[in-house]
Structure 1
Amino acid sequence: MSVEPPAAGELLVSTSGRGADFFDQSVVLLLDCDQDGALGVTLNKLSTTSLDSVLPQWTQLVAPPRVLFAGGPVSPQGAVCVAKLSNPSEEPPGWRPVMRDVGLLHLDTPVELATGGYTDLRIFAGYSGWAPGQLDDELARGSWFRMDSRDEDIFTAQPAGLWRRVLRRHGGAPALLSTWPADPELN
């Protein structure tokens, strides 16, 4: 476990592979983390709401699969957009960097301005949030592995297998957890 405090751009990978909690088998990208708390979006949970029904103008700009993701249980009626710049030397209107050339795109930005400015977009309903000290407590209890993020984690076309892939890539005890059966009763 890292001695450095959690930071934007890191992945939080759930150590729980069982149960029905939202965060079981979750991979969360931290977008902000400071003394006021932390927030992120869950990269591998799909929303039950279709993207076409709430933000149809954005559907063709998002990375496959062209769906709305469930970013977390906080403010599920709100939307968060994570985007990767096509030209890292420019900062288009409505964009705020998080790490490298990946950041947040304000969804009030006209779609015409966003077209061509990003190589990948992902839209999340809601977000995952932690009050001051809460994430540190969860990390101390062993609820999360902290890992470096890759663009292919954030914009994967196969979100269903992301939890297992990230754990396997890390090696060690996390890689063993990736072999957890989908249904332990069948083991």
Structure 2
Amino acid sequence: MAEGIYVGALLVATPLLDDPNFRRSVVLILEHDEDRGTLGVVLNRPSDISVTQVLPSWDSLVTGPSVLFQGGPVQTDSALALAAVPSGEEPLGWRRLHSPTPAVARLGTVDLDAPPEILAGEITQMRIFAGYAGWSAGQLEAEIRQGAWYLVDAEPGDTFHSDPESLWRAVLRRQRNELAFVATFPDDPNMN
């Protein structure tokens, strides 16, 4: 389990968090500044909207499922893309996430206004998110203290998990402490 909030960490919603925007969500932290706040994207909310419908020129570069992901409740009319590169190179149109963890060392944001052709041979995986999650300075820390989030380390496969809807359980299950048991928490405790 991670100590403090940092770029590349995962926020995993606790079973107590029932806000529909974040229920059973896994959020990758993209920016964190104690004075300005925190920004991240929800990794496990694929939508029904295909990338072809919104950004057709990027569709061939997207890692399946080829849909927009609901990145969070803020600015849902805008898109943000994450992509992985195969090496230490920084291709044009891609900006590295500055993280202390090797799990996201090859991960960065994509300039969706750039021509997709310049990144076509440069990236290995990519997902596009509609909107993002944001917290003002101190807000996320308070939510963690209140028991809304677990803060854990990311692993390389989390961002482009092949079955996004199972990511919440998968991240919890691999923890080496009591959090592994939370993965078995029923969707509806009243049905238990």
Shorter-chain TM-score category? over 0.9
| TM value normalised by structure 1 | 0.93
1:80 and 2:80 are equivalent in the alignment: yes
2:177 paired residue among 172, 176, 185: 172
Could you report, residue by residue, the CA deviation over 1:33-68 in whole angstroms, capped at 9, with x for unpaired residues?
002000000000122432211011111111111111
Q: Evaluate the alpha carbon distance shift between residue 157 and residue 87 of structure 1 in structure 2; reply closer, same or farther with a 3 A threshold.
A: same
5+ long unaligned stretches in structure 2: 100-104
Number of residue-to-residue matches in the alignment: 185
Provide the rounded CA distance (Å) in 1 between the counterparts of 2:70 and 2:43: 8
- Structure 2 CA distance for partners of 1:18 and 1:146, relative to 1, 3 Å: closer
Q: CA RMSD in A?
A: 1.6
Shift of 1:3: 4.6
Q: CA distance change for structure 1 residues 18 and 142 in 2, over 3 Å: closer, same or farther?
A: closer
SS in 2 for 1:49: strand
Cα distance, 1:96 vs. partner?
Answer: 1.1
Amino acid at match of 1:84: A
Kindly state the Cα deviation for residue 114 of structure 1 after the two structures are TM-superposed.
1.0
Spell out the pairing of 1:52-71 with structure 2 (5 A cutoff): 52-71=52-71
Distance in 2 of aligned mates of 1:165 and 1:2: 17
Residues 113, 33 of structure 1: CA spacing in aligned structure 2 closer, same or farther, 3 A cutoff? Answer: same
SS in 1 for 2:178: helix
- What's the TM-score once normalised by structure 2's chain length? 0.90
CA offset at residue 101 of structure 1? 1.0
Decide whether the 8 Å contact of 1:87 with 1:117 is kept in 2.
Answer: no
Match of 1:23, as an amino acid?
F
CA distance in structure 2 between the aligned counterparts of 1:186 and 1:2, rounded to whole angstroms: 32
Percent of aligned positions that are identical: 44
Aligned to 2:123: 118
Please state if 1:138 is matched with 2:137: no
1:92 to 2:97 alignment = no
Asked whether the 8 Å contact 2:37–2:138 carries over to 1, the reply is yes
